[in-house]
Amino acid sequence: MQDNDVASEFPDPRSSDYYNTAGSGLCPVTVRDQVKQYVEASCADAIGTSQKYAPYVEALRGHLARLLGCTGAELALMHHTAEGANVIAHGLQWQEGNTIMTLDREYPSTVYPWMNVQKLHKVHLVLLEERDGRIEEDEIVKALHRERPRLLAMSAVEWCTGYRFDLQKIGEACGELGIVFFVDAAQSLGFWEIDVETCKISALAGSAWKWLFGPLGMGYLYLRRDLLERVTPLFVGSESVVNPREYLRYDFTFQPDMRRFEYSTMNLSAVVWLEAGIHFVQQQGLERIRRHVFDLQDYALERLRDIGCTVRGDLPRERRSGIIGFRHPKIGSRELATTLYREAAIIARERDGFVRLSFHLYNHRPGIDRLIDLVTHMA
């Protein structure tokens, strides 16, 4: 697609004032139209439409597998990152005295499941301290050797600062020590690929509605094939087992792959939406998306510094994500974000004391200029 074609996908002129993709991304017109087509057909004939669109489930699994460098058999469709984390947290067999490690500024979905395991099974939970929105990978590796946890849980990208961790370095240490490596990919997949094999990732979960142009309430879970039998499904239903359409021939034999965790009726509207969203991402190309975003970030960082703001996210491009942040020397970040929305409908969020800006294809330099002008006149 050319730039004018991308612009036609986001025709609302307010799109360039939207800096909250890290919360939830906007929806391209072609994706919206495909979802609308499904919904209209389903309203007229739900069963027939579900049969017609059933192949979209495996098509979606294939799209996700290509982004992750795994097989479709290693993927289950979930509602969100938290559900995927809980499948792992409660499917593994824990022993009193086991240790789980995570970071002390993680997004709650990558903390509370492990706190619950701590409460239920009397395991130790170690929180590694972040400083200024990150922790060095060498420090994580040293802690792994020191603490020898059974599981390390962390995000691929720090959700407040946008720092992209070197998952390969951390994963190699986990593999060497026999540690289960769980990754929250919500702020990464769709902006970066993640090669789960190269990074020695044991399990990974993420959400659809940030960088993948998917819907709220849709996500995914990867589990390395050799760990499948070590994670017991706690929720089971007709779709968890072989021969799911043999309703009265009960055979409690789990599906041979990750479908055992997709225990009941699939939300096909969400499947259609995410499948179309990932197809749109693939059409654009991740390299092109990153180049567009990084160029905007460089411009925004320079302009923010020029007006005296402290910035986050000015990193080498290989360590960046779609997120940067800034803090004004005189105006509190929460007040600033609220005022930007109230007075100019600019959508950004305060996170960890900074105004977080997350960019995608619909953001452009004129929008950044408008943001800077407004911040300047507020001071």
User: The tokens 């890290």 sit on which residue?
Assistant: 22
Q: Pick from 118, 120, 196, 129: which is nearest to 151 by CA?
A: 118
Query: In angstroms, how far is CA 211 from the centroid of its own chain?
Result: 7
Rounded to the nearest 5°, which phi and psi values hold at 206?
-165, 175
Query: In angstroms, how far is CA 299 from the centroid of its own chain?
Result: 25
pLDDT in tens, the chain (379 residues): 446 689 899 999 899 999 999 999 999 999 999 999 999 999 999 999 999 999 999 999 999 999 999 999 999 999 999 999 999 999 999 999 999 999 999 999 999 999 999 999 999 999 999 998 899 999 999 999 999 999 999 999 999 999 999 999 999 999 999 999 999 999 999 999 999 999 999 999 999 999 999 999 999 999 999 999 999 999 999 999 999 999 999 999 999 999 999 999 999 999 999 999 999 999 999 999 999 999 999 999 999 999 999 999 999 999 999 999 999 999 999 999 999 999 999 999 999 999 999 999 999 999 999 999 999 998 7
Asked whether the beta carbons of 10 and 364 are under 8 A apart, the reply is no
Max Cα–Cα distance, the chain, nearest Å: 71
Strands (E), 6-129: 75-78, 99-103, 124-128
CA–CA dist 130, 128 (Å, integer): 7
CATH 3.10.20.340 for domain 31-282:
no
CA–CA dist 264, 36 (Å, integer): 24
CATH 3.90.1150.10 boundaries in the chain: 285-378
Q: What is the number of helices (H) and of strands (E) in the chain? A: 12, 11
DSSP state of 332: -
CATH 3.40.640.10 boundaries in the chain: 31-282
CA–CA dist 244, 241 (Å, integer): 6
CA–CA dist 13, 205 (Å, integer): 33
The predicted pLDDT at position 5 comes to: 80
Q: Give this prediction's pTM.
A: 0.96
CATH 3.90.1150.10 for domain 285-378:
yes
The predicted pLDDT at position 378 comes to: 86
Which amino acid belongs to residue 212? L
